[in-house]
Chains A and B, each alone.
Chain A
Amino acid sequence: SSVAQISFPHLEAFVRGGTLSSSMRRSSAASKKKSDSITSSTTDLFRSGPSKATSKEMDRIDHLFNQYANTSSNLIDPEGIEELCSNLEVPHTDIRILMLAWKMKAEKQGYFTQEEWRRGLKALRADTLSKLKKALPELEKEVRRQSNFADFYAYAFRYCLTEEKQKSIDIETICQLLDIVMGSTFRAQVDYFVEYLKIQNDYKVINMDQWMGFYRFCNEISFPEMTEYNPELAWPLVLDSFVEWISEKQA
C-alpha cells in the first residue's frame, strides 16, 4: 500500500491511528452519507434562521458538509477530506488544504467538525464546491501575507500535535511539514535543514520553540552567508548546530 509514503500530516494521523475498521467501512459509509445528507437538509427547511439569505447560505454550507461527513461521528474524517480534495482537484498534500484547516481553525488533525466547517466556509463566502475551489487562491494570498503567515506556521505545528499533552513532533513529520509549509518560500533553507535533521543524532523530536526558531532564522538570516547569525544570542541550540554543520560543509 502507498499509505506509508503519504506525506501529508492528515493522513499521517490517520495511518498512525490505525483505524482499520474505518477504512474497511469506507464503501458502506459513503453510501450512508448520501441518504443522511438528504434528511438533514429537509429538516433544515423548517428551521427559522436570522435572515433568509444567510440561512440559505448556511444551509448550503451544511449541505456541503454532509456530503463529506461521516454520518455516525458527524465529522469530516480523513476519508472525507481525501474525497473533498479529489473533488477540489487538489492533491491532499497541498498546502492549501492546510490553509483551509487554518481558516476553519480546525483543532484535530484529519477531522473537520461542523462548527469548524461553517466558520471556514462562511469566512470564505463559499457555499458550494465550485465557490470553495475558486476561493482557494484567495485564501492562499491571505495566508501568505506576512501578518498571517507566522500564525499559520505556528498553527501547522499545533495541528500536528495529535496526542494529549504532546509537545513535540518527530523529526520525520517535521521534515514533511517543513517541506509543505516553507518549501516554496525558503527552498534552500528547508533543504539544508531537512538534510541536517536527518543525519544528526542529538534530536529525535522538535518542539514549538525550535520550530518557531527556524521560522525566524529564515526571515532574519541571509542564506547561505548567514553573516548576521550570532550563536551567542538565544537561537535554539539545534540551529546553532545546524549553522555549525553548514559552515563545516561550506569550508
Chain B
Amino acid sequence: MDHGDGSVVLLERHSVQAAREGLITDAKDSPPSLLLSSQKMYRETIIDFEQGCKCLEAGVSELKRILEEETTSETLIDPKQYLELYTTIYNMCIQKHPHDYSQRLYNKYRDIVEHYAKKTVLPSIQQKHDEYLLRELSRRWGHYKVFVKWLSHFFNYLERFFISQRNQPPLLEVAMKSFRDRVYLEVQVSAKDVVIALIHKEREGEQIDRELLKNVLDVFVQSGMGTIERYKEDLEMFLLEETESYYARKASSWIQECSCPEYMIKSEESLKKEKERVTHYLHSSTESKLVEIVQDILLVSVEKHLLEKEHSGCSALLRDDKIDDLSRMYMLYHPIPKGLEPVADAFRVHVTREGNALIKQAQDAAANGSFVEAQLLVGKIIDLHEKYMVYVMGCFKNHAFFHKALKEAFEVFCNKKVGGSYGPELLANFCDSLFKKSGNDKLSDEAMEATIDNVIKLLDYISDKDIFAEFYRKKLARRLLFDHHKVNKEHETSMITKLKRQQGGQYTSKMEGMVTDMQLAKEFQKGFKGSLTKKPGGIDLAVTVLTTIHWPSYKKSTDLNLPREMVQCVEAFNSYYQSITTARKLSWIYSLGTCHVIGSFDPKPIELVLSTYQAVVLCLFNDTERLTCQEIIEQLNLSHEDLVRVLISLSCAKYRILNKEPASKSIATTDVFEFNSKFTDTMRRIKVSIPPPSMEEREKVVEDVDRDRRYAIDACIVRIMKSRKVLPHQQLVAQCAEQLSRMFKPDIKMIKKRIEDLMARDYLERDAEDHHIFKYVA
C-alpha cells in the first residue's frame, strides 16, 4: 500500500454530489467487500501504530489545507486516499492483540480535534473583532463541522464497532466537546456582546446580516450538546435583559410623546418585529419570553397612564368611535393575564358616565317641571345600550369582561330615580306608551319586536324587577280595560312571552291571566247577550269578568246607589252568572266602568263617553234640577274624594256639562250644581276624561311590592332553613339575598327583620351556644 501518496483531486462542482453519494455508499457498503481483501492483507502485514498515524496525519493535514484554501468550488479528498485511510484505520482496529489499536486511535481522534480547535480555529477567531469576529466564528464553525464530518468518515469503523462496544462517547460528541471547551467558552462573551449590539441596531431600524446571526446563534445552541442551556445562559438571558431596558426607555419616551393610538401602533409593531426576529434567527423558545417582556414593559407597566390619556385615552376613543384603535387595544391586551380588566373597567366608567349624563339631564328637566325628558329617557338608554353593545360584540370580541362591564354600568344608572319615578316605573311607562303607539301602527312589527327585546335587556339591569312587574301590570290592566281597541294583542303577548322566558313563569302568571281573562270575557259576553230576550233597562250592557288574583287590587264598590236602569243591568247579569256557575262570587267594580250617554242639550244631542261615576252623577239630574255636593254624596253613597274628582271633570274642566255655583275651580260640599242645557261642542261624541287619583297609584305599588317582598323573604328563609336545618346568620342572609336577587335587591335589614319575625313565630330559634346560629324548628 502506498501511504506516501497525498494527492488530492479537485473535482468539478457538478460531479461533487455524485461523488459524495458514492462515498457514502462506499462507507456503508464497502467494509464487507473490503473485508476479504483486508483479511488477506492482515495475513500479509501488520500495520503498527506509528505507521498508521503517519498515514492519518497526512490525510488530516490535507483536509486542513483544503478547508483553509476555501475555494469556491467544493473540495474533496481523493477517493483513493479516503479509501486508504479508511482501510488503514479498519485494519488497525481489527488486528489481534497487541496490535489492536482501537483505544489508541480513539485517543488519537481526540487529539486531532482538540488540536484543530485550539491551534487553528480559536486563534483565527480571536484575531477578529466586532462583526468580523462573528463572521470568523461562523466561518470557522462551518469548517469545523466539515472537518469533523470527514474525520467521522475516516474513523467510521472505529465508531461503529469499538465505540458502541466500549460504551465510549461517540466521535461527534468528542468533537463538539472540544469545540465547546477550546473555542466556544473562549469567545462566547465577546460574541454575545456583538450579537446583542447587532440586534440593537436592527431594533433601531438598521439592516443587519440575519443569516450571520442565525449561524452564530447556532453555535450557542449546538454548544449546549443537546440542550439549550448554553444558549439560555450565555445569550438569551443577556438579550432579555437588554430587551427590557431597551423597551423601558422606549416606553417612557413614547408615553410622553405619543397619543394612545400612536403608542398602540408602535407597540403592535414592536411585538410583530420581535416575533419576526425569533423566526429569522433566534431559538423558537425565546419567542414567548421576548413577547412577555415587551408586553410587560410596553403595555402592562403603562396601562393606566395609556388608558387614561386625556385626549386620546380609552374614554376619548369611545367618545370618538375609534373602532380600529379600540380593536387594537383589545388585541394588544387580550393575551396578557389581567390585561383586559383595566380596559373593561375604563369601558365601564365611560358607559356609566354617559348614562349618568342622560339621567342628570332628565333629572334637571324634571326639577324644572318638565317630564318630557323623563319620558324620552328610556328610549335614550336603549339607544345607549345598542351603541355600546356593538362595541362589546365588535371591538371587544364578545368578551365576558365587557359584557360584565356593560351590565355593571347600566345597573348603576338604570336604577336611579328621576322626578320621583323609579327606574322600573319609567321602564313600565315606556312600555305602556310603546304599546299604545303600536295600536296606531306607527311602528313596524320588526321595529316593535326589536324594541321589546331591548326593554327585556334593560330589565335585566333593573334590580327591583318586582316593582317593574307591578307597574307593568297596572298599565297592562288599563290598556286591556280602556284601550282594548288600540292594543295589538300579538305585541302584548310577545312581550309577556319574552318576560316569561327571562324571568320565569311565576313572574308573568298574573299578566298571562289578565290577557286570558279578556279573551274569556269576550265569549262570556256573547253568551250573556244570547241569553237576553230584551235589553235590561234599555241599556246595551257589556261586562268584563276578571279573576281577582290576576288583576291589581281595585276598590270594590257594591254600595254605590245606581240608577234604576243600571240596577236592572246588574241584576240581569248577576242572574245570568249564577245560572252559569255558583262556585264564584261576583263583585262589581264601578270605578272601572265606562258609559255612553246621550246628552239632550238644547243646541244638539251629543254622545258623552263617561266613567260610570260620571254617568251616575249626571243621571241624578234627570229627576232633579239642582243638587248640592252634599246631596249628591248622600244620594249616591259615593266617597267625597271620588265625587270631587267627578264634579271637577263635569263642571270645571274642558267640558262644562254641569253649571256650578259659585263658579270656582274647587269643590265645596255646599256648592250647587245644575244641568247645563246650553252645552255644546263641535264634535258629536266627546270623551269627558277624569283626573286620575293623584299620587295614590305609585304609593300603592310600593306598598303592594313591600308586602309581597315580606312574603318572598319569609318563604325564602324557611325554604333555606328547611333544607339546611342549622345555619349561621351571615350565611343565611347571604343565601337569601342571592336567591332573591333575581327578583329584587333585598335590604339586609329587611331580611334580618324577617328572621326575627320568623323566630317570634317559632319557625326558627337561636342555637343555645352560639346565638349567631339559627336552627329550623320543625
- Interface residue ranges, A against B (CB under 8 Å): 167, 207, 209-210, 212-213, 216, 232-234, 236-237, 240
Contact = CB atoms under 8 A, between A and B. Distances in A.
Contacts of A236: 756
Contacts of A233: 729-730, 772
Interface of B is mostly: helix
25 contacts: A167-B760, A207-B760, A209-B756, A209-B759, A209-B766, A210-B756, A213-B771, A216-B771, A232-B730, A232-B733, A232-B748, A233-B729, A233-B730, A234-B728, A234-B729, A234-B730, A234-B752, A234-B755, A234-B766, A234-B771, A234-B772, A236-B756, A237-B749, A237-B752, A240-B752
Interface in B736-772: 748-749, 752-753, 755-756, 759-760, 766, 771-772
B220 interface: no
A237 B753 contact: yes
A185 to B, nearest CB: 20
Interface string B413-433: 000000000000000000000
Given A232-B748, A236-B756, 17 more contacts: A167-B760, A209-B760, A209-B766, A213-B771, A216-B771, A232-B733, A233-B730, A234-B728, A234-B752, A234-B771, A234-B773, A234-B774, A237-B749, A237-B752, A237-B753, A237-B756, A240-B752
A195 to B, nearest CB: 22
Interface of B: 728-730, 733, 748-749, 752-753, 755-756, 759-760, 766, 771-774
List the 10 closest pairs (A to B, CB-CB), nearest first: A234-B729, A234-B772, A233-B772, A237-B752, A209-B759, A237-B753, A207-B760, A232-B730, A233-B729, A216-B771
A237 B755 CA distance: 10
A236 B753 CA distance: 8
Nearest to A216: B771
A216 B752 CA distance: 18
A210 B749 CA distance: 15
A39 to B, nearest CB: 48
A208 to B, nearest CB: 9
B551 to A, nearest CB: 34
Contacts of B772: 233-234
Contacts of A213: 771
Contacts, number: 33
A157 to B, nearest CB: 14
Nearest to B761: A167
A167 B749 CA distance: 22
Contacts of B749: 237, 240
Contacts of B771: 212-213, 216, 234
A236 B759 CA distance: 11
A240 B760 CA distance: 18
Contacts of A212: 771
A210 B766 CA distance: 12
Contacts of A210: 756
Contacts of B773: 234
A233 B772 CA distance: 6
Contacts of A234: 728-730, 752, 755, 766, 771-774
Contacts of A167: 760
A207 B762 CA distance: 13
A213 B749 CA distance: 17
B93 to A, nearest CB: 88
A240 B755 CA distance: 14
Nearest to B770: A234
A216 B772 CA distance: 11
A214 to B, nearest CB: 12
Contacts of A237: 749, 752-753, 756
Nearest to B734: A232
Determine which residue in A212, A234, A236, A237 has the highest number of CB atoms from chain B within 10 A of its CB, and name it.
Answer: A234
Nearest to B765: A209
Nearest to A209: B759
Nearest to A220: B771
B758 to A, nearest CB: 11
A207 B765 CA distance: 13
B706 to A, nearest CB: 16
Identify the interface centre among B733, B766, B771, B774: most chain A CB within 10 Å of its CB: B771
Nearest to B753: A237
A166 B771 CA distance: 23
Contacts of B774: 234
Most buried by B among A210, A213, A216, A236: A236
A249 to B, nearest CB: 20
A219 to B, nearest CB: 11
